[in-house]
């Protein structure tokens, strides 16, 4: 184990891990991923995320409401998830993922519904002073405007513009660099220009694998030498800084 890191965003409760979840968590730990933050996206995954965090001391839960479900959900379904988040507020390290996705949602009505639902999630983060984990796709600037009064915000799997990233940094918020940085030119430019003190790292497992097949928390280590090389600094500095930042962001 060269150094220790934290995977700041993964989905270990997703079906891709049904067969070997315990082994995946164990191999991540052995590789040096000492803590993992598992993010819920709806009622069902919020429930399984809580179960995971109960089972493993080193897996922390954030409960969310993914923007994908906002346009097609009725008030009752939305309320059920918001109540679930509030009910479990003392057992989670943050709220999210939640936010806006204009990549998949093209209709004006759908986008307005996403904003309306996101505002309700923001209110919970504000009321309980919890960090908010944002899923923002092609709407990062709007998400930033809506959350600019919050203390702690994490833009998960950030892929927006350098300009908006600079505004996020100026607000004192965090930007999470996914394992996409291993092969995406845009994410390389983000990592290169993002100040180390605002940076977290993540896999978003089982998605965005830097290797063949599914992604898993152990692979977050693949991004460390990549980021170090882009920034011209030592790998251990990237590992140490992102670990401290994640602890600071989520109060670990």
The per-residue pLDDT for 23 is 98
Say yes or no to pLDDT of 33 above 80: yes
List pLDDT tens digits, range 159-211.
999 999 999 999 999 999 999 999 999 999 999 999 999 999 999 999 999 99
Q: Please tell me the pTM assigned to this model.
A: 0.97
Parallel, antiparallel or unpaired: strands 174-178 and 153-155: parallel
Question: Which domains occur in the chain, in start order?
Answer: 5-250 (3.20.20.140)
pLDDT at 2 (0 to 100): 85
Q: What is the pLDDT of residues 50-81, one digit of tens each?
A: 999 999 999 999 999 999 988 888 999 999 99
pLDDT at 27: 97
Share of the chain above pLDDT 70, in %: 100
pLDDT in tens, 117-169: 999 999 999 999 999 999 999 999 999 999 999 999 999 999 999 999 999 99
pLDDT of the residue at 181: 98
CB 244, CB 35: distance < 8 Å: no
Q: Are strands 33-39 and 5-10 parallel, antiparallel or unpaired?
A: parallel
Q: How many CA atoms lie within 13 A of 33 on its CB side?
A: 28
Q: Give the burial class of 89: count Cβ atoms within 10 A of its Cβ; 0-12 exposed, 13-18 middle, 19 or more buried.
A: middle
Is the pLDDT at 1 greater than 80? The verdict is: no
For 13-26, what is each residue's pLDDT tens digit?
999 999 999 999 99
Structure tokens at 75: 């008030």
């Amino acid at each position: 184990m060269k150094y220790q890191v934290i995977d700041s965003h993964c989905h270990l409760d997703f079906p891709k891990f049904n067969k070997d979840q315990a082994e995946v968590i164990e191999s991540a730990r052995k590789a040096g991923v000492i803590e993992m933050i598992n993010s819920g996206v709806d009622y069902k995954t919020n429930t399984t995320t809580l179960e995971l965090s109960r089972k493993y001391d080193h897996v922390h839960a954030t409960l969310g409401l993914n923007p994908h479900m906002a346009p097609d959900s009725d008030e009752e379904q939305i309320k059920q998830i918001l109540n679930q988040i509030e009910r479990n507020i003392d057992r989670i390290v943050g709220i999210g993922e939640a936010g806006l996705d204009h990549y998949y949602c093209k209709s004006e009505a759908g986008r307005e519904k996403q904003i309306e639902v996101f505002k309700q999630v923001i209110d919970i983060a504000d009321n309980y002073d919890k960090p908010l984990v944002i899923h923002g796709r092609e709407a990062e600037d709007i998400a930033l405007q809506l959350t600019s009064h919050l203390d702690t915000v994490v833009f998960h799997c950030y892929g927006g513009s350098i300009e908006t990233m600079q505004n996020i940094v100026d607000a004192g918020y965090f930007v999470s660099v996914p394992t996409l940085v291993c092969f995406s030119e845009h994410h390389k430019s983000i990592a290169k220009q993002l100040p180390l003190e605002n940076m977290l790292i993540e896999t978003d497992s089982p998605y965005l694998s830097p290797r063949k097949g599914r992604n898993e928390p152990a692979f977050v280590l693949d991004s460390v030498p990549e980021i170090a090389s882009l920034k011209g600094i030592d790998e251990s500095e990237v590992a140490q800084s992102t670990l401290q930042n994640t602890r600071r962001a989520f109060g670990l």
